[in-house]
């Protein structure tokens, strides 16, 4: 047990240190613990990696675009300090360290998706039991189509990845790789087209849900507001993925597309899900 003098000093320090300072000191610890909970939650790792990955792409683009402004500021500072201006990063986003780290996260996500067929199989097995009692047939059919498309995407992406890393023999995919000069570009292109079609299914689902809402009159005003908020939040996801999917499914890419647009769209698509998972860690 500490002496009375030590206890009084500790009490005095506690009285003098503002509560805000104590709260700020605890903030990093709380953030780390909440982040650990988020990564351990179902789908948390995938959502976090996706959002962080595309945020890095956006930062790479903004960092590169700000290079001329940084050069002017450092030139002004060097005149006053007499020291040479530091070496700046390239104005090319592809040379940014943010982009390099984003590419690393992208590779990690693709590798983790080797196991992506497992939850899709569980989804397909559930759908194989037929529509639930009272379920709209259009919504059920849309779910079946989307599940099939996503499974095709995941299977083809897995094949391309395993071929690139020599896990699968080249003879297995020779018919596909011959169409793209011996690379797996054609396999990836077909895979991303399946993904794009799956994204379009979300628009069909949301359109049908909006249509069905017009027939539901026995809903309170509060429930209606909650449904509205969820519907618009769900709409942001396919709307954000659409430009990215169009870029990946167009041979040669879109002329107006760049790393900044891809980063902004990808970050926006995963933001609501990541924010919801983060809120659940409180």
Alpha helices in the chain (DSSP H): 4-16, 19-40, 44-65, 67-81, 97-112, 117-127, 137-164, 174-177, 185-213, 221-249, 259-279
Q: What pLDDT band is residue 16 in, cutting at 50, 70 and 90?
A: low
Residues 89, 194, single domain; the answer is no
**CA angle at 242 for the pair 237 and 244, rounded to the nearest 5°:** 105
- Give the per-residue pLDDT at 8: 54
What is the spatial distance between Cα 101 and Cα 249, in angstroms, rounded to a whole number?
A: 24
Mean pLDDT of 41-63: 89
Residues 119, 243, single domain; the answer is yes
- pLDDT digits over 234-267, tens only? 999 999 999 999 999 988 888 999 999 999 999 9
In a domain, 257, yes or no: no
Please tell me which of 39-43, 48-52, 77-81, 92-96 the model is most confident about, judged by mean pLDDT: 48-52
Residues 63, 143, single domain; the answer is no
Q: What pLDDT band is residue 194 in, cutting at 50, 70 and 90?
A: very high
Residues 47, 77, single domain; the answer is yes
What is the spatial distance between Cα 98 and Cα 107, in angstroms, rounded to a whole number?
A: 14
- Give the per-residue pLDDT at 66: 76
Closest listed residue to residue 241, CA positions, set 209, 278, 275, 198: 198
Mean pLDDT of 228-233: 89
- Give the per-residue pLDDT at 13: 46
Domain that holds residue 231: 115-251
In a domain, 23, yes or no: no
Residue 192 pLDDT > 90, yes or no? yes
Residue 179 pLDDT > 90, yes or no? no
Whole-number average pLDDT of the chain: 84
What is the spatial distance between Cα 96 and Cα 197, in angstroms, rounded to a whole number?
A: 32
Tell me 180's DSSP state: G
Are residues 154 and 124 in contact, defined by beta-carbon separation less than 8 angstroms? no
- pLDDT digits over 62-115, tens only? 888 876 666 666 566 666 666 665 555 556 667 788 899 999 999 999 999 999
SS3 of 20, please? Answer: helix
Residues 161, 71, single domain; the answer is no
Radius of gyration for the alpha carbons in the chain, expressed in angstroms and rounded = 25
Are residues 54 and 262 in contact, defined by beta-carbon separation less than 8 angstroms? yes
Residues 132, 245, single domain; the answer is yes
Percent of the chain's residues with pLDDT above 90 = 49
- Give the per-residue pLDDT at 85: 56
Are residues 47 and 273 in contact, defined by beta-carbon separation less than 8 angstroms? yes
What is the spatial distance between Cα 207 and Cα 141, in angstroms, rounded to a whole number?
A: 14
Instruction: Please list, in sequence order, all residues whose beta carbon lies within 8 angstroms of the beta carbon of residue 88, skipping any fewer than 6 positions away.
Output: 67, 70, 71, 74
Residues 73, 127, single domain; the answer is no
What is the spatial distance between Cα 162 and Cα 77, in angstroms, rounded to a whole number?
A: 51
Structurally, the chain folds into a number of domains equal to 2
- Give the per-residue pLDDT at 78: 63
- Give the per-residue pLDDT at 193: 96
In a domain, 262, yes or no: no
Out of 71-80, 126-135, 220-229, which region has the weakest mean confidence (pLDDT)?
Answer: 71-80
Q: What pLDDT band is residue 6 in, cutting at 50, 70 and 90?
A: very low
């Amino acid at each position: 047990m500490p002496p009375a003098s030590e206890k009084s000093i500790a009490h005095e320090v506690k009285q003098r240190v503002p509560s805000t300072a104590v709260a700020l000191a605890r903030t990093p610890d709380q953030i780390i613990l909440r982040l650990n909970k988020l990564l351990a939650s179902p789908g948390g790792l995938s959502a976090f990696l996706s959002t962080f990955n595309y945020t890095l792409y956006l930062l790479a683009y903004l960092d590169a675009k700000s290079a001329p402004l940084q050069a002017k500021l450092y030139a002004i500072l060097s005149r006053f300090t007499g020291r040479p201006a530091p070496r700046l990063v390239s104005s090319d986003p592809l040379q940014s360290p943010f982009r390099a780290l984003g590419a690393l996260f992208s590779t990690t996500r693709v590798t983790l998706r080797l196991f992506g067929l497992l939850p899709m199989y569980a989804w397909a097995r559930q759908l194989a039991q037929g529509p639930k009692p009272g379920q709209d047939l259009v919504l059920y059919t849309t779910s079946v189509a989307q599940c099939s498309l996503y499974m095709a995407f995941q299977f083809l992406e897995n094949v391309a990845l395993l071929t690139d890393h020599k896990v699968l023999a080249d003879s297995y995919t020779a018919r596909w790789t011959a169409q793209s000069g011996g690379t797996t570009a054609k396999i990836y292109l077909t895979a991303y087209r399946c993904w794009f079609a799956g994204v379009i299914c979300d628009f069909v689902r949301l359109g049908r849900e909006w249509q069905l809402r017009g027939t539901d009159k026995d809903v309170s005003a509060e429930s209606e507001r909650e449904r509205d908020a969820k519907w618009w939040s769900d709409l942001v996801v396919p709307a954000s993925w659409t430009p990215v999917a169009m870029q990946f499914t167009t041979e040669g890419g879109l002329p107006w597309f760049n790393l900044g647009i891809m980063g902004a769209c990808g970050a926006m698509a995963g933001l609501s899900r990541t924010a919801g998972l983060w809120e659940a860690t409180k």
